[in-house]
Structure 1
Amino acid sequence: MQEISTVPYAPPKHVAIIMDGNGRWAKARGLPRTAGHRKGVEAVRRTVEAARELGVPYLTMFGFSSENWRRPEGEVFDLMQLLRFYLRSEIAELHKNGVRLRVIGDRTKLSGDIVTMIEKAEELTRNNKELNLIIALSYGARQEIVEATRQMVRDALEGRLSPDEISEESFSARLLTRDVPDPDLLVRTSGEQRISNFLLWQSAYTELVFVDTLWPDFTKRDLEDAIREFNQRDRRYGAVGTR
């Protein structure tokens, strides 16, 4: 049975999370960065379950950015190994709990076996409706916007799109999140206050909440607190406020 939310508000339709602080968590304990990333995987598991229990329909998590490829080769290797572990160990449980998994980002940089596991996981969970889980891997928002622009130009040159048809809606329809609502709430952990090339177009009117908790320590309570803060905001979308 699904746990009843302890948050006295309706949950946001879409929560996005920048998972930050694995390295600092490990450093504070005299451990290698890999240890922080492993604990971060546990926090992913907790947060997915918490979002499902709280009734959040869409959850997007920034797992690996296009800039992260610049990290030391050994760290990137370890992160890819952890990704393989997650895809092997978690998909059956996600499917059992009605979670649909989708991955957005540049798959051309990922190893073939990882792409195959992603495709199989997406196909297995395609019809699940309890929670839409979107993982951003090898993802960069600027790259996404550039690619959407290229697609619009190609469509125009080939006669499928006229200049008069170019709009925010037609542009959004060419993004990786074309069938996902824009985030209502974006949470970043570890005290950093920036969005780091994550969902730039989609976050035009997103409420931002920055928390000091390092990602490996993130819990359901932290998510609940962020949702409480979100519900106290006056979302005006450029109009006059109601408070």
Structure 2
Amino acid sequence: MNADLLPSLRHLVRGLTTVFWGLPSTLLICVLMAVAEFPRALGCAPPIITTGLLLFGVCELARFQPQEREWQRALERAQLLALVNVGLAPFVYFWSRQPTEAYYFQIVIVLAFTGLLFLYLLNHVLQRLAAMLPDETLRADTVFFTRLNLTLMVTGVVFVVGYYLLAELKSLPQAVIEALDLAQVARIRFALVVVLVLLPVSMTMSLVWKTRDVVLGSVFGPRS
């Protein structure tokens, strides 16, 4: 192992670890802000901190292989979305305090879409990183799961947009009306959230951790 490469590998591992913990923390805090009172006592700080963790993690990743153009371009796009998410994060708190304010709600919807876009770009970053690492299994897994994540996220966006567009129409076939009513059921909504949101997040976390293990294994050797 080249000694000059060790500092950049340290930043890479730190960035992957930060992103791994930042993903569920951001999702959890944003949900708790909407449904629970105790995080609101801290004001805007919780969502800013968690989205800031993701920004910090991606910036740490950028300190690895700065000469690789495709890798750095993928990171720059992810950094931009992470910065946008940090800027929009306070509106989660504002909306939780004034849920009837249409402007705050619209900003939260924008944050949800930019969050999904960041997740997609993060998958692309992981794919570029796997291409630089000497592990064929990781490379194949990353390609497969990034495509699966993209499919799930696009399906989720299409479903949500289609639901609200159909709900605005006055005359609909009875079958469509029944389907819209079914989507109102709490259990159905929960299942959709699990499949279309939690599943891509969890698979991305798995890829991040596996990539981290591969990097550590290249430095210290495989775990016994």
Query: Given the two structures, how large is their TM-score scaled by the length of structure 2?
Result: 0.28
Query: Given the two structures, how large is their TM-score scaled by the length of structure 1?
Result: 0.27
- Structure with the bigger percentage of strand: 1
Structure with larger RCO (C-alpha < 8 A, sep 6+): 1
Larger radius of gyration: 2
- Structure with the bigger percentage of helix: 2
